[in-house]
Amino acid sequence: MVAMWIMDMMLKVTWVMTTVGFAVLLSDYLRLQRQQCTETTGVQNTGKQAAERPPKLPDGDYVQHGSSVWCWGHNNTDRMCKFSNLCFSPQHQQFVFFHGEQTVTHGIHNRFHPALVDMTSIPDHNTQYFQYVDLPISALQDFKKVKIYQGTSLIFNRFNPDNLMHVFHDDLLPIYFTLRQITASDVDPFNLNSRLVIMEGWRPGEFVDLYQMLSTEDLVFKQELGNLGELVCFSNAYVGLSKATTWYQYGFKVPQGPKDNIAVTARDIRQFTDFVCTRLGIEETGVSESKYIVLFSRRLNRLIVNEVDLTIALASEFNMRVVTLSMESHTVPQQIAIIRKASMVVGMHGSFLTLAMFLPPGAVVVELFPYAVNPEHYVPYRTLANLPGMRLTYAAWRNIEPQNTITHPDNPWDLGGIAHLNPAEQDAILRSTEVPRHLCCRNPEWLFRIYQDTVVDIPSFLKTVRKAVTDAEANKQGNGGTSSSDDDYKKIYPGPPVDFSCQSVQSSDGLVGLQLSWQPPWNLPYLDAKDTKYEVWIQEQGEVSYMPWILPFTSHVFSEGIEAEHDYNVWVRCIVNDTVVGPFADAVQCST
Angle at 72 between CA 68 and CA 76, to 5 degrees: 95
pLDDT tens by residue, the chain, 592 residues: 444 444 454 434 344 344 434 343 334 444 444 444 334 333 344 344 434 444 444 555 678 889 999 999 999 999 999 999 999 999 999 999 999 999 999 999 999 999 999 999 999 999 999 999 999 999 999 999 999 999 999 999 999 999 999 999 999 999 999 999 998 765 677 789 999 999 999 999 999 999 999 999 999 999 999 999 999 999 999 999 999 999 999 999 999 999 999 999 999 999 999 999 999 999 765 444 558 999 999 999 999 999 999 999 999 999 999 999 999 999 999 999 999 999 999 999 999 999 999 999 999 999 999 999 999 999 999 999 999 999 999 999 999 999 999 999 999 999 999 999 999 999 999 999 999 999 999 999 999 999 999 999 999 999 999 999 999 999 887 664 444 444 454 578 999 999 999 999 988 888 899 999 999 999 999 998 999 999 999 999 989 999 999 999 999 999 988 999 999 999 999 999 998 999 999 999 999 8
For residues 519 and 66, give the distance between their C-alpha atoms in angstroms, rounded to a whole number. 56
CA atoms within 13 A on the CB side of 412: 3
pLDDT at 37 (0 to 100): 39
Question: Quick check: 44 and 53 in contact, CB under 8 A?
Answer: no
- Nearest CA among 76, 83, 71 for reference residue 128: 76
* DSSP, res 141: G
For residues 265 and 488, give the distance between their C-alpha atoms in angstroms, rounded to a whole number. 9
Question: Quick check: 363 and 273 in contact, CB under 8 A?
Answer: no
- Nearest CA among 322, 324, 326 for reference residue 298: 326
Contacts of 109 (CB under 8 A, 6+ apart): none
Residue extents of the structural domains in the chain: 59-245, 257-407+452-486, 498-591
Question: Quick check: 332 and 481 in contact, CB under 8 A?
Answer: no
Beta bridge partners of 258: 248
Beta bridge partners of 292: 321
For residues 584 and 586, give the distance between their C-alpha atoms in angstroms, rounded to a whole number. 6
498-591 matches 257-407+452-486 in CATH topology: no
The angle that helices 307-318 and 458-478 make with each other, rounded to 10 degrees, is 40
Angle at 86 between CA 64 and CA 234, to 5 degrees: 90
* DSSP element (H, E) containing 486: helix 486-489
Where do runs of H (alpha helix) occur along 189-296? Answer: 208-212, 266-280
| Torsion over CA: 90, 93, 95, 96 (sign) | negative
**In terms of C-beta density within 10 A (0-12 exposed, 13-18 middle, 19 or more buried), how is residue 351 classed?**
buried
**In terms of C-beta density within 10 A (0-12 exposed, 13-18 middle, 19 or more buried), how is residue 437 classed?**
middle
Where do runs of H (alpha helix) occur along 74-192? Answer: 164-165, 173-183
Superfamily of structural domain 498-591 = Immunoglobulins (2.60.40.10)
For residues 299 and 580, give the distance between their C-alpha atoms in angstroms, rounded to a whole number. 49
First-to-final CA distance of the chain: 122
For residues 136 and 162, give the distance between their C-alpha atoms in angstroms, rounded to a whole number. 40
pLDDT at 186 (0 to 100): 56
Contacts of 390 (CB under 8 A, 6+ apart): 266, 269, 361, 384, 483, 485
Superfamily of structural domain 257-407+452-486 = Response regulator (3.40.50.2300)
For residues 548 and 566, give the distance between their C-alpha atoms in angstroms, rounded to a whole number. 18
Question: Quick check: 259 and 275 in contact, CB under 8 A?
Answer: no
Stated pTM of the model: 0.82
Beta bridge partners of 372: none
* DSSP, res 284: P
* DSSP element (H, E) containing 478: helix 458-478
Query: In 3-102, which ranges are E strands?
Result: 68-72, 80-89, 94-99
